[in-house]
Structure 1
Amino acid sequence: MTGRQRRAVVIGGGIAGLATAALLSAEGWSTTLFEARDEIGGRAGSWRHGAFRFDTGPSWYLMPEVFDHFFRLLGTTADEELDLVPLDPAYRVYSDPATGLDPLDVRSGREAATALFESVEPGAGARLDAYLDSAAEAYDLAVTRFLYDTYETTSGLRDPALLRRMPRLAPLLTRSLARHVERRFTDPRLRKILEYPAVFLGGSPYGVPSLYHLMSHLDLGDRVLYPRGGFTEVIAAVARVAEASGVTIRTGAAVASITASDGAATGVELADGRRVAADLVVSGADLHRTETQLLAPQLQTYPESWWRSRTPSPGALLLMLGVEGSLPQLAHHTLLFTRDWRGNFDDIFGRRPRIPDPASLYVCRPSATDSTVAPPGHENLFVLVPVPADPSLGRGGVDGSGDPAVEAAADRVIAQIADWCGIPDLADRVVARRTVAPGDFADEFGAWRGNALGLAHTLRQSALFRPRNASRKVAGLAYAGASTLPGIGLPMCLISAELVVKRLRGDRSPGPLAEPARV
């Protein structure tokens, strides 16, 4: 490669691919990104219907320091790139009306959170204070020791400072989040507030380790923010810094295969037959699709047989609803929690999976904060119902055109929101509607088993047990995205991009890259 610039190809224009491309270009690589669809963003996409604009994926802006670190690596900041608005309340919680339990408004900040818990359950405020101390310590441990580690060696895990904390850490790895919470709190609403973040990790509170109680540091101890304009603005910002660093982005350009010779990646072949040479290939596409469809069998690090014993995140039934009139009953973020909490997760992850009914679900009303997402006098609702990861559940559509079973489930969800939140005429006020189901995730994103998020964060699929960011069979082939290290969610995808660069630099430290000094 003497005398010419190193060439990199990135597959996939989701946030992981865009971020990887941006960092590679800043490292001096001539970088081209290929996205199969006509627009970038991947699961963090956008849909317009008349004067409505909907985010079609992530809607919680958590771990703000990870976003800021990424932008600072590229000479800017999150505050310069995004208009971030703190939410108050952070979210609202409704319970099944049959329980007789009142809704709760959850406000961020330790003082507000402990006051809420104490008002619901005497003594719970002090217990939450201790719980958040532990969550903050676990979060600091994750950021400084686990999330930014490529695990090329175990030196980070053998650090004396970490080993001294093992007596406190080990129990958090061996008991479930649900058991950890339920030993400390009695009120079902408080338990569910602390357990529901398991869904953000693609799992069940009965299946993810209690180390992930660190998530409560984010929504209770820290702030919940919203990027004005929606999460499409986050994608636009990452794409903007990528192009500013020299990345070429090609949409409508599907990659059919990764080419290799003598055990090293040589580039990609596009669906139209064109071949693009590269010294480095990074796939931000679904890892299962990358391994089992883009690589020849003898080159697969994670072949089909590997996936048979792995656990996907849930699938999702998504509803995008344009609603006439106001909906003050809903906060920007609203959660509906079923009475049969464990049964709800058994429906999703158990031996006889089905769409839960009633379901524990999430409603985002961005129009509560952002006037750009709905026309005057209307509201924008995005509803997520965790369902089994199973493409046979069907596909959605616009204005009721999806598969009958999907649309019937969506009707039940609308009726549930109407009943639980006191909006009896909700269905009659819907003027725009789109549904998305596991079949859509499989078809549009190549998502393994139609899952919505990636590999679930079970113990055997976390940290050093998660798929690494580089192929063991093909030199010069790396991975980024939600099913590789470190995991699920937009911040994790940004870190996965950074891990690619750390490998290229030979940086085996457990922490983030040093940020360049700003002039």
Structure 2
Amino acid sequence: MRLYQKSTSLFAKKNAISSVAVIGSGFAALSAASYLAQAGCTVDVYEKNGSIGGRARYLTTTNGYTFDMGPSWYWMPEVFEKFFADFGYEVPQLYQLEQLDPGFSVVYGKNDVINIPANFKGLCDLFESIEAGSSEKLKLFLDGASYKYKIGMEKLVYKPGLSLFEFADKDLIKGLFKLEVFNSFSKHIRRYFKDPRLIALMEFPVLFLGAMPEETPALYSLMNYAGLKLGTWYPEGGFGTVIDAMRTVAEKQGVNFYTNESVTKLNAAGKLVNEVVTTKQSKQYDGVIAGADYNHVESKLLESRYRNYNEKYWESRVMAPSSLIFYLGLNRKVAKLQHHNLFFDAGLQQHAVEIYKEPKWPSKPLFYVCCPSKTDATVAPEGHENLFVLMPLAPGADDTEALRKQYFDLIMSRLEKHTDTNIRTSIDYKKSYCVNDFVADYNSFKGNAYGLANTLMQTANLKPSIKNKHLDNLFYTGQLTVPGPGVPPSIISGKVAAQQMIKYLNKLS
């Protein structure tokens, strides 16, 4: 792989080498480890599972399927580009990207489907065909969302959330009104659109942001800009190729990986973590970055006197959803599916209530189907189909095999009706994944899949702190701290945490 001639190091290298342990190996942890090693630190990454990647691990089967186990939407490509550029790489050197067209499909009923074109003119024409005058309103809506995206992704997401003085920025202050932090996402959408199909289309990212649309700040219309204007992309081979690329970068910087090795305790003395204890060894470090589940690190690895938050605090948090997932291999092709398919043939409002307000298994669930074999021939045997089926679910919900089967049949009945295909008789690989698995594999608090909900009271400095308040050399990264859930924010979170650790270490030298 060709490296740039120009040095891209973000931090001055230290004369004295510091050692840092990173717990976990998801996007945030890999990002943090890479930046720390680039700065001259000796970095050890500890991963409890047999392969790295956290929720973005991939699953390969003996009969030729490769499944992304978690993330499948590649949005905000510039965040990935910035990360790799910081280490002298361009994305095409590491993996190939393809823009999807249509970006995704929304199913409202048996013969009521809209495909979201990659071309903006085509998108405007689509909106206009659904609601007269909506194409001009879409342009106005996305103009505002573009501003939020620019300020949000260039300013807000890189704030460590440790002081209100971080927001003493003229651009942030000047644009506070335009950011609409205190306005409701739901009301904001309805100022522009009336047709329920367009409203559902615009509100769908909120289901995964982790709150009711009326409780999510209108700031997050930046997600609509990302999905509708910047486009939906696919890394050839799946998200596992992105993890492999990040591991390549990390190892090039000198990062060491230890898989099948859980961290069981963080020993501390005074105001410092002085020892990391794993299932295989004990080792001293100058600093620790926790990329594992924040609640797990606090409640299981630290003595109570060193914890930022108690159990009451965590129980009061609004969590983003968990998920019921099915990985399905089919011995035939399936018509009427795109790469990404959102099944909105039931009401978003009712499903959202049953996640956030009255937690229970949903009565009429929305669900999502990813069929990457429509784009990528390498993820399934020839003539076969690869399906990733996901239903958002209240975190902490009861998880039994009987419930998994019940909802599998419910979802399959609707999917078979839409595709005119008997999918259940075509399955040659099936694996389910739900709340209990998120807890077992990732120590996930309440089995959440997406982290902390992006409500107003859980935004920026109101998220769990990136820094331990009692231990000077312990920092946190990932979806439960700043800037929040999602793959691009997690990559940024790793960079922010690494910057804070480097500042701390530089004070010692």
Q: Structure 2 residue aligned with 1:275, among 282, 295, 305?
A: 282
Q: CA deviation at 1:305?
A: 2.1
Output the CA distance in 2 between the equivalents of 1:35 and 1:505.
22
Aligned position for 2:6: none
Aligned position for 1:214: 222
Output the CA distance in 1 between the equivalents of 2:427 and 2:460.
43
Q: How does 1:110-129 map to 2 (within 5 A)?
A: 110-129=120-139
Query: Per the alignment, in what secondary structure is the counterpart of residue 127 of structure 1?
Result: helix
Aligned position for 1:40: 52
Query: Per the alignment, in what secondary structure is the counterpart of residue 95 of structure 1?
Result: strand
Identify the range of structure 1 (195-204 vs 119-128) with the bigger mean alpha-carbon deviation.
195-204
Aligned position for 1:264: 272
Q: Structure 1 residue aligned with 2:396, among 386, 390, 397?
A: 390
Q: CA deviation at 1:327?
A: 1.6
Amino acid at match of 2:125: A
Aligned position for 1:378: 384
Q: How does 1:236-251 map to 2 (within 5 A)?
A: 236-251=244-259
2:150 matches 1:140: yes
Aligned position for 1:159: 169
Query: Per the alignment, in what secondary structure is the counterpart of residue 256 of structure 1?
Result: strand
Aligned position for 2:113: 103
Q: CA deviation at 1:128?
A: 0.5
2:434 matches 1:434: no
Q: Structure 2 residue aligned with 1:57, among 57, 70, 81?
A: 70
Question: 8 Å contact 2:79–2:488 — kept in the other structure?
Answer: yes
Question: 8 Å contact 2:460–2:483 — kept in the other structure?
Answer: yes
Output the CA distance in 2 between the equivalents of 1:337 and 1:357.
14
Output the CA distance in 1 between the equivalents of 2:170 and 2:254.
42
Query: Per the alignment, in what secondary structure is the counterpart of residue 335 of structure 2?
Result: coil
Output the CA distance in 1 between the equivalents of 2:503 and 2:289.
17
Output the CA distance in 1 between the equivalents of 2:166 and 2:48.
37
Aligned position for 2:7: none
Relative distance call for 1:76 and 1:338 in structure 2 (3 A) is same
Alignment deviations for residues 424-449 of structure 1 (CA, whole Å, 9 cap, x no partner):
41222122111111111112111101
Q: How does 1:188-207 map to 2 (within 5 A)?
A: 188-207=196-215
Amino acid at match of 2:413: A
Q: CA deviation at 1:454?
A: 0.6
2:460 matches 1:463: yes
- Using structure 1 for the length normalisation, give the TM-score: 0.91
Q: Structure 2 residue aligned with 1:232, among 237, 240, 249?
A: 240
Aligned position for 1:71: 84
Q: Structure 2 residue aligned with 1:494, among 491, 494, 503?
A: 491
Aligned position for 1:406: 404
Q: CA deviation at 1:183?
A: 2.6
Q: Structure 2 residue aligned with 1:290, among 290, 297, 305?
A: 297
Output the CA distance in 2 between the equivalents of 1:168 and 1:247.
42
Query: Per the alignment, in what secondary structure is the counterpart of residue 378 of structure 2?
Result: coil
Output the CA distance in 1 between the equivalents of 2:35 and 2:77.
19
Q: CA deviation at 1:506?
A: 4.2
Q: CA deviation at 1:105?
A: 0.5
Aligned position for 2:479: 482
Q: CA deviation at 1:20?
A: 1.1
2:352 matches 1:345: yes
Amino acid at match of 2:293: D
Aligned position for 2:37: 25
Identify the range of structure 1 (182-191 vs 26-35) with the bigger mean alpha-carbon deviation.
182-191
Query: Per the alignment, in what secondary structure is the counterpart of residue 163 of structure 2?
Result: coil
Q: CA deviation at 1:3?
A: 7.6
Q: Structure 1 residue aligned with 2:316, among 304, 309, 313?
A: 309
Relative distance call for 1:472 and 1:109 in structure 2 (3 A) is farther
- Provide the identity percentage: 32
Query: Per the alignment, in what secondary structure is the counterpart of residue 492 of structure 2?
Result: helix
Output the CA distance in 1 between the equivalents of 2:419 and 2:161.
50
Q: CA deviation at 1:203?
A: 2.9
Considering only aligned residues, what root-mean-square deviation do their CA atoms show, in Å?
1.6
Q: CA deviation at 1:391?
A: 4.8
Q: Where in structure 1 are there 5+ consecutive unaligned residues?
A: 395-402, 508-519
Amino acid at match of 1:386: P
Output the CA distance in 2 between the equivalents of 1:323 and 1:354.
30
Query: Per the alignment, in what secondary structure is the counterpart of residue 213 of structure 2?
Result: coil
Q: CA deviation at 1:13?
A: 1.4
Identify the range of structure 1 (151-160 vs 203-212) with the bigger mean alpha-carbon deviation.
151-160
Amino acid at match of 1:490: V
Question: 8 Å contact 1:358–1:416 — kept in the other structure?
Answer: no
